[in-house]
């Protein structure tokens, strides 16, 4: 698993994946900047509409909210943006790790979009829960790692497996190997905790889980 993780990290920055990385970073940054500007404009309208003391409080709250929001929204937004390119990433990884194997097929567009939206919403919910636990109990970092480990393991593995299997069989394969998939998910969860680098989480997660799927699939055919 460690070897797969190191190979995946190196491949994210390889020439073959740089075009996808560039598109993902550009679109994610544009979305976050647009969201930040919209929130800032909304805050300004509230500041001018009320008394001076309220404006000062709103200004401070918005500034803090923007910082926290950008940190917690970076990974979910990157996941949504990258969902349109993940099949391209998986195909590149498969050609490297299993050049003689059967090529994967992209899932139907409607199913891929539905999975991407579900993943994004779940990621937002998980991060809100982790933030609440941080504020209320002080165990947010641990909950962030464990909850995201399960989420990333499940979603990225199923996305990789769905290129070769129906969704029901992809889920069955994940459940039979839930321990290994969860460990891989924890590695992705640790990756997403690193600011700025977490914008590349979808690429790293897809690369790692494609390698994980291929390894488990080869094991099942022995």
Q: How far is CA 44 from CA 52, 63, 166, in A?
A: 12, 11, 50
Query: Residue 122 has which token pair?
Result: 């779940």
pLDDT of res. 222: 43
Query: pTM for the full model?
Result: 0.78
Does 72 score more than 90 pLDDT? no
Residue 221, classed as helix, strand or coil, is coil
pLDDT of res. 63: 65
User: Which sequence spans correspond to the domains of the chain?
Assistant: 2-216
* pLDDT tens for each residue of 31-61: 777 777 776 677 667 666 556 666 667 667 7
Among 75, 30, 86, which Cα is nearest to 195's?
Answer: 75
Q: How far is CA 63 from the centre of its chain?
A: 25
What's the CA gap between 182 and 132, in Å, rounded?
23
CB 53 within 8 A of CB 46: no
Query: Residue 173 has which token pair?
Result: 């394969």
Query: Per mean pLDDT, which range of 35-39, 44-48, 122-126, 210-214 is the poorest?
Result: 44-48
What's the CA gap between 181 and 150, in Å, rounded?
8
* 111-125 average pLDDT score: 76
- Higher-confidence residue: 120 or 161? 161
CB 63 within 8 A of CB 179: no
* pLDDT tens for each residue of 131-147: 777 667 766 677 778 88
CB 163 within 8 A of CB 90: yes
């Amino acid at each position: 698993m460690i070897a797969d993780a190191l190979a995946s990290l190196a491949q994210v920055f390889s020439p073959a994946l740089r075009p996808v990385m560039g598109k993902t970073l550009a679109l994610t940054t544009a979305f976050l900047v647009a969201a930040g500007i919209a929130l800032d404009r909304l805050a300004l309208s509230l500041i001018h509409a009320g008394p001076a003391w309220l404006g000062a409080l709103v200004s401070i709250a918005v500034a803090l909210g923007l910082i926290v929001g950008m940190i917690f929204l970076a990974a979910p937004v990157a996941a949504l943006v990258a969902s349109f390119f993940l099949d391209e990433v998986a195909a590149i990884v498969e050609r490297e790790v299993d050049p003689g194997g059967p090529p994967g097929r992209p899932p139907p567009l409607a199913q891929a979009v539905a999975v991407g939206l579900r993943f994004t919403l779940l990621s937002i919910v998980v991060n809100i829960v982790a933030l609440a636990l941080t504020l209320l109990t002080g165990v947010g970092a641990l909950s962030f790692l464990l909850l995201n480990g399960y989420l990333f393991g499940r979603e990225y593995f199923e996305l990789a497996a769905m290129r070769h299997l129906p969704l029901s069989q992809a889920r069955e394969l994940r459940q039979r190997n839930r321990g290994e998939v969860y460990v891989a998910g924890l590695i992705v969860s640790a990756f997403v905790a690193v600011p700025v680098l977490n914008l590349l989480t979808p690429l790293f997660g897809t690369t790692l889980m494609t390698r994980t799927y291929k390894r488990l699939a080869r094991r099942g055919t022995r």
